[in-house]
Structure 1
Amino acid sequence: MGIRDVPVRFWIAVTIFATSYVSNTIRFNMAVSIRHMANNFEEDNSTYDALSVDGLNNTTNSTTDVRYQKQEFPRQNWTTDIQNLILDSYFWGYVVSSAPSGFIAEWFGPYYTVLYALILSAFFNSLCIRAAPWHFVPLILCRFILGLLSGSIYPSLQCLISRWAPHSEKGRFVSALMGNALGICVCYTLVDVVNTSIDVEWGLHFLSIQIAVFCLIFGLVASDGPSDHKWISDDERKLIKDNTDISVPLGKYVPPYLKILTSVPFWALCVCQFGDLWGLYFQATCMPKIFHGIFGFGFKTSTALAMTPYLFRMIFGIAFGHVCDRVEFKGAWSKDHVRKLFILFSHIVPGIVIMFTILAASSYATTLAVLILSMAFNGAAVATNLRNVHDLSPNFAGPLFGAVNSLGSTAGFLTPLVHSTLTHDNRDHWKWNGVIAGCIYILCGLFFIAFGTSQAQPWNELSGRNSEDAAIFDNGSDEPRVGPSRQVDERSPLNA
């Protein structure tokens, strides 16, 4: 089979994976770069948490590592609090923009929302290195803007998925969001190599160039939907149209936010997302500190060990996406049963496994194995909280995920706060973080099992005059919609 025989939607899934990847490199690159920018950061004696929202715990004014004295970038005398603000500022913007960005993606189209967000991200990412020597306030502003831009990415990708993924391939499309795990790992290895071997300026420019190149690819390959793609065949366009639940066109329609916010299934999904993100932030916030402070590894080794479980989450997430599609569309179980079965893997099992971290703390190898197991099972989130937005409202999957992700992301602020409180007087109290994270995982999963659903909600459809204008035609198409027939294209590589 030649490249021309590969369905266009396969390349859309690839661009979703790549977009998730490049977006996450922007999120975490400052945690690596600040080591080479701050004058009071010293690798081997600090307790700096590379991934933490609350940033640095280093309070010593150690001398600059001789390995970095060759760098021309002028190191800054930033206090620990200033460094914390620099790292936190991204997440302020991210939480602020997540909720409205889904609406923006529906209004302007996910294609242009993603493309412009990435182009501007490349510019402000490189601008950070110019702002830092001037003053830390412009740097904080740049990182805040980067957070605002990045907050629009995932709701836009969910909007793309809702319009490109047939029923039989939805899980595999959602699993493409696992590209974020690769972004974390590449950022903490490749960027650090560039920073160390060349200088910190090129560490940031490297990511900006990477984003710029990807924007060219995304601009050529992607589109808002099958109806306006230039390369897609008529057969594939019809296949997608007949096997999706979209009943309103992409356009200027305000999602029914009041009805969404008063919906029990919406809040069940928010709780589910909160539990998932709490577990992820626990791994990201605590584990580099644990490997460094408890087991005595250096910064690079601690970070490498803490990043390893993310690769397993990506691999198993892609596998779970395939399994979910096959189980769901064989028809043996309802979608409700499938979602709640996979909650066992995405929330309950990881919660139990994380609590075993307490028993495994005597050995770093055992601790690492426990974390890998937990993250691997959590890859099933592609079949639960990441997928459920398409069940509740395929018409407004982007805006719905934006609201869910904004509320769920509050875990990013609470997790490091809990960690700092518990370990303030005794660092051995970190073990209780495992108990708390495990309990939250399990309780949030049980809440979704009790109150969550996979049924499309009444607010999914537009009502009144707007529905008369919107429900008949797809965006950019002059053909009436045909009701979903759940046909399966066995020729697709996504169904391999």
Structure 2
Amino acid sequence: MASKDITAAIATKTAAENDGPRVGVRHLQSFLIFLGFSVGFMQRTNLSVAIVAMMDRNSTNPDFPEYDWSEQTKSLVLSSYFWGYFLMQIPGGQLAQRFGGKIMLLFSVGIGGFLTIFTPFGAQLGDWQFICALRFLQGFCQAAVYPSGQIILARWAPPAERGILVTLCFSGMQFGTVIIMSISGILATSKFGWPSIFYVSGGCGIIWSFMWLLWGAESPRQSKLITPKERNYIESALEVLSKSESNTTPAKLPTPWLSIFTSVPFWALNITHCAYNWGYWTLLTQIPSYIKNVFNKNIQSNALLSALPYAANLVFGLCFCALGQVLLSKKVFSTNASRKIFNTIGMWIPMAATIPLAFVDANSSDLAVILLTLSLGINSAVFIGFFVNYIELSPNFAATLMGITNFGATLMSMIGPLVVGVVVTDTTNPNQWRIIFYTMVFSYFIGNLLFITLGGTKVQPWNEPVKRNANRVQQTGE
């Protein structure tokens, strides 16, 4: 009898998967998350581009104040967001787990929007100290963005579509950065001056919040827009029909901390994320300084060249996403093989490109820019590599896993510039910069090696701790 039930369940699941609509509300949810990530990153990076106009003593617009801040003060202002963001990572994952991804994503982007709009007034009220406080609060609130996205995707993305939906969502990071970097120069020189950079990015956050409030949903079962056919397709594919009928919801499940921290696939994922952040953010934030000082080519002063690495990451990410979906649909690779292959592309090819970047001739600055752009573009293959792995290891605790790993990964992105400051005492010395390149190569190599050897895509036993504990009680008779 049990065998017949299992066969019937498999047949039902297969039929539901085959009958699933090609485009549906799950894609709308992913697009809304994409926009939310875009707006969140517009708010996150707006100060790094606005501060140039805020400190411009040669500004021709006398209607807006300019600030005479030292480089040390400038660094404090720019880093204040990340301190709040860093401290709230693990609690942010727990809050998303407890209250749901929809509420926390709404809170993160919406409150961030209000704080962003208030930033110009804050500068006038309390100078750089007030801006630091606002940015700290903004980072504090937006720490739940990633975990919220993961927990929503865990309930909306069927296994066969996880790669494409996760990539679509996380591409919002690059899209938002490209947009704000592209329009900031125009906004700063408009009649509204540099404050308009904050008004636009903050206003987008408020507008997105209303859209999310209207059309966003925690799960297919809570959506008012979804058809019964699509809901059955998603739930059947995720094998959650039986769970939805139980009294236990993911929000009520106790977090299995010990099981998580003793899980080998989780540690492989954790180290991979940290290694990726070390390499990616070092490439993104420090190599432009290397190109400027060693090759005398300032790509940061050129809006087009500054946005180019982000644009390349966005375009390459969507291309890898389409390729990965085709390969999975044709069953060329298993899910496990696909994740590891694309993660290898996203970390080891940039690693290989980093080596010649360290030895480019001083007269070949354009080649250095090309190598940097290609490295950052190909990096995006990890979106269908380890970025999807949170949902696969534990759909119920994807937000918690993301909070834990992003805590360490954010720490890596904060330590990276400090290491550069200690190692590179002469910014024109290519030999000192090569030490930084070597750390990136080592980081990418070790991170991906652990992922392909110790990582996995199977749902972990601790994903359902209540059921696991119930089975243990039955077996022991306690």
Length-normalised TM-score, structure 2:
0.86
- Contact 2:292 / 2:298 at 8 angstroms: preserved in 1? yes
**Equivalences for residues 313-352 of structure 1 within 5 A:** 313-352=313-352
Q: Tell me how far apart the structure 1 counterparts of residues 230 and 411 of structure 2 sit (CA, whole Å).
A: 40
Query: What is the CA-CA distance between 1:161 and the residue it aligns to?
Result: 0.8
**Equivalences for residues 76-155 of structure 1 within 5 A:** 76-133=67-124, 134-155=126-147
Residues 181-208 of structure 1: per-residue CA shift (max 9 Å, x gap) = 1111112121232012231111211111
- Contact 1:33 / 1:203 at 8 angstroms: preserved in 2? yes
Q: Tell me how far apart the structure 1 counterparts of residues 216 and 343 of structure 2 sit (CA, whole Å).
A: 32
Residues 433-490 of structure 1: per-residue CA shift (max 9 Å, x gap) = 222212211121112222212222111112259979xxxxxxxxxxxxxxxxxxxxxx
Length-normalised TM-score, structure 1:
0.83
* Compared CA separation, residues 172 and 463, structure 1 to 2 (3 A): same
- Contact 2:114 / 2:206 at 8 angstroms: preserved in 1? no
Query: What is the CA-CA distance between 1:211 and the residue it aligns to?
Result: 1.4
- Look up the equivalent residue of 1:12 and give its one-letter code: Q
Gaps of 5+ in 2: 1-20, 472-478
Q: Tell me how far apart the structure 1 counterparts of residues 275 and 403 of structure 2 sit (CA, whole Å).
A: 16
* Compared CA separation, residues 294 and 30, structure 1 to 2 (3 A): same
Query: What is the CA-CA distance between 1:281 and the residue it aligns to?
Result: 0.5
Structure 1 counterpart of 2:475: none
Alignment counterpart, residue 54 of structure 2, candidates 37, 40, 50: 37
What's the % identity of the aligned pairs? Answer: 27
Determine if the alignment matches structure 1 residue 282 to structure 2 residue 282: yes
Structure 1 counterpart of 2:358: 358
Query: What is the CA-CA distance between 1:300 and the residue it aligns to?
Result: 5.1
| SS at 2:433 equivalent | helix
Structure 2 counterpart of 1:239: 233
Structure 1 counterpart of 2:444: 441
- Contact 2:279 / 2:440 at 8 angstroms: preserved in 1? yes
- Contact 1:284 / 1:306 at 8 angstroms: preserved in 2? no
Residues 406-446 of structure 1: per-residue CA shift (max 9 Å, x gap) = 11121211211122122223432223322221221112111
Query: What is the CA-CA distance between 1:369 and the residue it aligns to?
Result: 1.6
Paired positions, count: 439
Query: What is the CA-CA distance between 1:79 and the residue it aligns to?
Result: 2.2
Q: Tell me how far apart the structure 1 counterparts of residues 230 and 150 of structure 2 sit (CA, whole Å).
A: 20
Determine if the alignment matches structure 1 residue 170 to structure 2 residue 171: no
| SS at 1:359 equivalent | coil
Query: What is the CA-CA distance between 1:250 and the residue it aligns to?
Result: 4.2
* Compared CA separation, residues 361 and 122, structure 1 to 2 (3 A): farther
Q: Tell me how far apart the structure 1 counterparts of residues 303 and 425 of structure 2 sit (CA, whole Å).
A: 22
- Contact 1:283 / 1:306 at 8 angstroms: preserved in 2? no
**Equivalences for residues 48-87 of structure 1 within 5 A:** 64-65=57-58, 68-87=59-78
Structure 1 counterpart of 2:419: 418
Structure 1 counterpart of 2:10: none
Q: Tell me how far apart the structure 1 counterparts of residues 38 and 160 of structure 2 sit (CA, whole Å).
A: 24
Using the TM superposition, name which of 313-322 and 119-128 deviates more: 313-322
Query: What is the CA-CA distance between 1:361 and the residue it aligns to?
Result: 4.8
Q: Root-mean-square deviation (CA), in Å?
A: 2.2
Q: Tell me how far apart the structure 1 counterparts of residues 103 and 437 of structure 2 sit (CA, whole Å).
A: 41
Determine if the alignment matches structure 1 residue 182 to structure 2 residue 188: no
Structure 1 counterpart of 2:464: 461
| SS at 1:344 equivalent | helix
Structure 1 counterpart of 2:254: 254
- Look up the equivalent residue of 2:80 and give its one-letter code: S
Structure 2 counterpart of 1:16: 33
Determine if the alignment matches structure 1 residue 203 to structure 2 residue 197: yes
Structure 2 counterpart of 1:479: none
Determine if the alignment matches structure 1 residue 370 to structure 2 residue 363: no
- Contact 2:297 / 2:365 at 8 angstroms: preserved in 1? no
Richer in helix (by share): 2
Structure 1 counterpart of 2:149: 157
